[in-house]
Structure 1
Amino acid sequence: MFKTRHVLAWLLAALLSASVHAKELKIVVATNFLGTLQTLAAEFEKNTGHTVTLSGVSAGPAYAQLANGAPYDVWFSADVKNPETLDLKDGLALPGSRFSYAQGVLVLWSATPGRVDAQGEVLKKDDWHHIAVSNPDIAPYGTAGHQVMGALGVRDKLIEQKRIVQPNSVGQVHSQTASGAADLGFVALAQVLQPDGSIPGSHWFPPAALYSPIVQQALIVKSTKEPELAREFLAWVRSPRGAEIIKAAGYTIPE
């Protein structure tokens, strides 16, 4: 009995010690990368015992929140401009922490099989009602989508016909297109790529020459109370295993 009690007491002490030393990392992340970061965070939590809390917010609003003192430790943005501004202009990033973690791939997608052709000619047709493109003023994938439509010479006509709907994030674009509320949508490959490599519905990959590279950057917020844990997490993201997860999700790793 004494031995059993001794073991139980030791286990309880170990659990209490682990809970005391476990920490929480609060991260704001671009909606396109949320699912991928959930996978990365889950492995990190399993390996370290720490907790990672994620909030999906598009680039522009995330910048506004951080500039106004939102209590996040790390930011994974969908662009370069906003993290660069927070770092170099506002001085609100931990010096030397900003880096490019992924480059996104733009996809014109429909939940309906056969609707999108392999050359993207569907954009020039009138047999559909609405295309969802995230707001280009605050979302990089929206900027890229508008660049593609402009390069193809269809953007002005679609605007005039009021066939473009502009939610604030590419996450909302995916939701609207998946539900059928929009016939087409410019989304991130990572949002539609399945584990077996397939893409449901129908899709077209716009040539990369038609839009600016969607380089995505991360940084540690200067006001973080967990700088070492934040560094540890970013090191994990940049590890060979982290890169493997990011690539499998549908991104490339910037040079």
Structure 2
Amino acid sequence: MEWLAGHFEFVSHPEAWVALVTLVVLEIVLGIDNLIFISILTNKLPKEQQARARRIGISAALILRLALLGTISIIVQLTEPVFELFGHGFSWRDLILIAGGLFLVWKATKEIHHSVDPDDGKENMMGQVTMSAGAAIVQILLLDLVFSIDSIITAVGMTNELAIMFIAVISAVTVMLIAAEPLSRFIAANPTVVMLALAFLLMIGMTLIADGMGFHVPKGYIYAAMGFSALVESLNMLARRKRARAKALQGGAGK
């Protein structure tokens, strides 16, 4: 009990609560990238498998992040350079971010290609007519690993309290679990939003590659651009609905 109480001493320090709230918000924002990917990928599955695949994928993300927090001393060492190329030292974190970024860029590009040319004979990103739930979950876990390592390193940079990190991670993944179904339905019901979400993934993939190469792009710029694009698309959706209602009223009046 004394060991457990020692991890929650931060409750008596106001600055620790500020760090907790800030980290929870940051983890939720960072989770948006992962959630968009999960929503798009699981929407390619048969209807009866989608919700289950999302729950398994997000639950696995929680387990993975908690496991990584348990090995935080190893995670911190991932930022140490392991080799140098063109005057830049590359760490394991850099290599993981680059690999994850390339993975995202490839997937987003394949899906955009299919959206533009649906008669290319490829039903999904893997070039298969159908995708199994197992294949979707494996791909979700691969991206979970990339986003989780980046998330944990961000948490380490903000606080030394392990309890705060655990609470922030659990809170963020809980929000993802709650938001997954509504977001997936919204994306599935609005084809133009799908293209916008794919563009987001493409941008996020390029950002991961740039970060891994040593060119840090402030997250605020990325999410500001995503927010502005989402606002513009929302206005377009409202305009389309208004035109559809006006057309329906005109059709009714004509009769």
Instruction: Using structure 2 for the length normalisation, give the TM-score.
Output: 0.26
Larger % of helix: which? 2
More contact order relative to length (CA 8 Å, sep ≥ 6): 2
Instruction: Using structure 1 for the length normalisation, give the TM-score.
Output: 0.26
Larger % of strand: which? 1
